[in-house]
Amino acid sequence: MPYKPQFATVKPYVLHFLRDNYWRVEDLLSYDDTLGEAQLQFWRTVSRLTRRGCIIENEKHMMALFRTSWSRHFTTLANKNSQQIKMVTITDPTYNYIEETIAGCTDNDGYVLSLIATAPDEIRQGIMLMLKLPTETLNVITTLVEKDLIDPANTIVCRLLGKPPQHCILQQMLSYLKD
């Protein structure tokens, strides 16, 4: 008499497996849905084997075939779960305060980086130089600009960039950043 596969044969294995591994798919499927997936995978396995003309000899043979099929299918489900983006709703009032504080914050490099990226080459070189200058040199240039001595400050910037002072790079940088 040929062996007739039944899910009841593998159900204890599935329950034990889910007790240890359900956490891997809990954001994707409920526990009952995961149990249903196991049952569906069981019948898929039986169906494939019968279509191919394979003979399932006994419960042990069926269990071995199902364990392989189920572990591979479960890994696929776990991978889908890890690729899924999870939306979280936070109702804590402290979070609202933090969100309002951060939203008004202007200490952000995004604007500066976009200005640098869209600047003409010479201006970009000047801005990058200013960002990398030692504090003392930057203070000298800043002091000259504050005293409205743009030409001597421009001469320093041009020399550091290896350009002739007639390029007026500092003036170009200032007008670019004002716009």
Same domain, 78 and 133: no
Residue 17 in domain: yes
Q: What is the pLDDT of residues 90-142, one digit of tens each?
A: 565 555 554 444 444 555 566 667 777 888 888 888 888 888 888 888 888 88
Residue 63 in domain: yes
Same domain, 77 and 138: no
DSSP string covering 89-127: ----HHHHHHHHHHHT----HHHHHHHHHHS-HHHHHHH
Give me 14's structure tokens: 């599935």
Same domain, 73 and 114: no
Residue 51 in domain: yes
Q: What is the CA radius of gyration of the chain?
A: 34
Compute the 3-state secondary structure of the chain and give helix, strand, coil in percent, each to the nearest 5.
75, 0, 25
Q: Which residue has the tokens 């600047």?
A: 119
Looking at the structure of the chain, the number of domains it has is 2
DSSP 86: P
Residue 69 pLDDT class (50, 70, 90 cuts): very high
Same domain, 25 and 74: yes
- Asked whether residue 83 carries a pLDDT value surpassing 80, the answer given is no
Residue 52 in domain: yes
Residue 134 in domain: yes
Domain boundary among 48, 83, 118: 83
The set of residues, in sequence order, having a beta carbon less than 8 Å from that of 9 and lying 6+ positions away, is: 59, 62, 63
Domain hosting residue 153, numbered range: 109-178
Residue 98 in domain: no
Residue 91: the pLDDT is 62
